[in-house]
Amino acid sequence: MNLWRELMSRKQMIKAFKYSGLYLTVGDDERKIFPKIHSVQNRKYSTEYIFTLPNGLDPHILKKNFFAFHQVFGKNIELKGDYKKFEFHVYKVSLPAELNYDYAAYSEHFGGLDLPIVAGVDLAGKLIAYCMVTNPHLLIAGETGSGKSTQLRSVLSTLIQTLSPDRLQLYLCDLKRSEFYLFRNVEHVQGLFVSAREMLPMLQQLKKEMQHRGDLLDRAEVSHIDELPEKLPYIVLCIDEVALLQDEKDIMTLVEEISAIGRALGVFLILSMQRPDRKVLDGKLKNNLTVRMGFRCADLINSRIIGTPGSEKLKEAGRMLLKLPAFIDLKEVQSPYLSTDKAKKILEGYKCAPPSDRKKQPLNAYESELESENDIFGVLKR
Ligand SMILES: Nc1ncnc2c1ncn2[C@@H]1O[C@H](COP(=O)(O)OP(=O)(O)OP(=O)(O)O)[C@@H](O)[C@H]1O
């Protein structure tokens, strides 16, 4: 970067420090000490700044007043860091309006991700994929037509292609009866549930499975199922339009319980919702949904409930604000577009014989015992 340009970039940054109140005031003359800018690099897609806060400066000021950085640098910015050292990007490009789902390309980035969730691409064209084992429980929310169902389809299709049925078991609840028919007879799918009445026994059984897994952890004196000598499958419970369950207290209590203790036991939630509802997303459940994908929604009240303020301003279908613990700020992401037809073709290769011709594989010996108590899986076999 030439010297003049670097100087201008530094000046902009000092302006953002000033407007956001990010400085210490010292001495009788009230001298301002700003964060130290270590480098300014002009990259292909962005200008990258590295800076550190002076000791004693509260990093929360940066988070709280981040709006001032937007005012100075515009919409397409990103900040990474925790207490002292920060990396800040100002992007020069905007996101693509459509991104075709491409599993082969995504899977090259899955090294180290045991349960990979692909969110999409960010402003730098970088694939944003994360591991659900370390970032459990996902909320996908947005108004009708914003791209939620497409994202659910793509997330589930990716999981199915990545893990074998003995490593991943899916429980799919389709309260609108609109989406999950695609997954019927896929080997990983343990049940497809379309009403609260069908869901309750399944959740009670999952609770027993969690208790069993908890006992195994106690006995082996380990804190996560991945540390057990015998590998247990991850369980993903996906509920499309969870708000329809708002008056089902027993169900919501069990869902909340999974959100609270499922992480170590390998039991994860994916919840989707059209109209965010405080009654459903109360404090406890909401806090445990550590990842939020906020697609376009009606207004700021809705986007605040989701935890992605600003998503009410999104225009394009498939565009979201992503809240992931690793990022200090929300990240704008374009999600992959996977059409129903393409998903059908992909899933064809993972289907087994119709249920009437096969016996469901139990989770484990413990589940076989439960299964004889209550054959909840009948609902899938219609
Ligand atoms: N990732 C994407 N990229 C481009 N276009 C998309 C994407 N996702 C969705 N769309 C477009 O938006 C339309 C609606 O998407 P989708 O059905 O996923 O929305 P939705 O939020 O689930 O709506 P509903 O709640 O009514 O089911 C799709 O038919 C497609 O044309």
pLDDT digits (tens, 9 = 90+) for 218-262: 999 999 999 999 999 999 999 999 999 988 999 999 999 999 999
Tokens of 283: 């404090």
Concatenating the DSSP letter of every residue in 298-320 gives SSHHHHHHHT-TTGGG--STTEE
ipTM of the complex: 0.96
319 Cα: distance to centroid of ligand 1 (angstroms): 10
Q: Is the pLDDT assigned to residue 1 strictly greater than 80?
A: no
Is residue 147 lining ligand 1, measured as CB closer than 6 Å?
Answer: yes
Tokens of 213: 């897994």
Q: Whose CA is nearest to atom 2 of ligand 1?
A: 318
Provide the residue type at 284 as one letter: K
**Between 184 and 178, residue with greater pLDDT:** 184
Burial of residue 144 (CB within 10 Å: 0-12, 13-18, 19+) is exposed
Lowest mean pLDDT among 230-234, 264-268, 285-289, 378-382: 378-382
Is residue 145 lining ligand 1, measured as CB closer than 6 Å?
Answer: yes
Is residue 372 lining ligand 1, measured as CB closer than 6 Å?
Answer: no
Of 64, 14, 67, the residue nearest 36 (C-alpha): 14
Grouping H, G, I as helix, E, B as strand and the rest as coil, residue 171 is strand
8, 117, 345 from 2: Cα distances, Å: 10, 40, 52
Grouping H, G, I as helix, E, B as strand and the rest as coil, residue 85 is strand
pLDDT band at residue 363 using 50, 70 and 90 as cut-offs: very low
Q: Is the pLDDT assigned to residue 152 strictly greater than 50?
A: yes
Q: Convert the pLDDT of each residue in 310-356 to its tens digit.
A: 999 898 899 999 999 888 778 899 999 999 999 999 999 999 866 55
Contact 294, 311 (CB under 8 A): yes
Q: Whose CA is nearest to atom 25 of ligand 1?
A: 144
**Start-to-end C-alpha separation, the chain:** 64
Mean per-residue pLDDT of the chain? 88
Contact 205, 370 (CB under 8 A): yes
The interaxial angle of helices 148-162 and 340-348, nearest 10 deg, is: 20
HSE (CB half, 13 Å, CA atoms) of 72? 21
140 Cα: distance to centroid of ligand 1 (angstroms): 13
Angle (CA) 165 167 168, round 5° = 65
- Ligand 1 atom, smallest distance to 335 CA: 1
Tokens of 226: 């991945």
DSSP state of 21: T
- Ligand 1 atom, smallest distance to 179 CA: 27
Q: Convert the pLDDT of each residue in 33-47 to its tens digit.
A: 999 999 999 887 789
Contact 90, 47 (CB under 8 A): yes
CA dihedral 278, 279, 280, 281 (to 10 degrees): 30
Provide the residue type at 259 as one letter: S
Strands of the chain, DSSP E? 24-26, 31-33, 36-42, 46-52, 77-81, 85-91, 116-121, 127-131, 138-141, 168-174, 189-193, 234-240, 267-273, 291-295, 319-323, 331-334
Question: What pLDDT is attached to residue 212?
Answer: 96
Q: Convert the pLDDT of each residue in 205-219 to its tens digit.
A: 999 999 999 999 999
- Cα(81)–Cα(237) distance, rounded to whole angstroms? 32
Provide the residue type at 308 as one letter: T
- Cα(80)–Cα(326) distance, rounded to whole angstroms? 8
Contact 137, 262 (CB under 8 A): yes
pTM: 0.78
Is residue 335 lining ligand 1, measured as CB closer than 6 Å?
Answer: yes
- Cα(183)–Cα(80) distance, rounded to whole angstroms? 37
- Ligand 1 atom, smallest distance to 146 CA: 21
Average pLDDT over residues 72-89: 89
Of 363, 371, 129, the residue nearest 232 (C-alpha): 363
15, 236, 292, 308, 330 from 324: Cα distances, Å: 28, 19, 7, 11, 7
pLDDT band at residue 369 using 50, 70 and 90 as cut-offs: very low
Provide the residue type at 29 as one letter: D
The interaxial angle of helices 196-220 and 249-265, nearest 10 deg, is: 30
339 Cα: distance to centroid of ligand 1 (angstroms): 9
149 Cα: distance to centroid of ligand 1 (angstroms): 6
Is residue 274 lining ligand 1, measured as CB closer than 6 Å?
Answer: yes
Question: What pLDDT is attached to residue 355?
Answer: 55
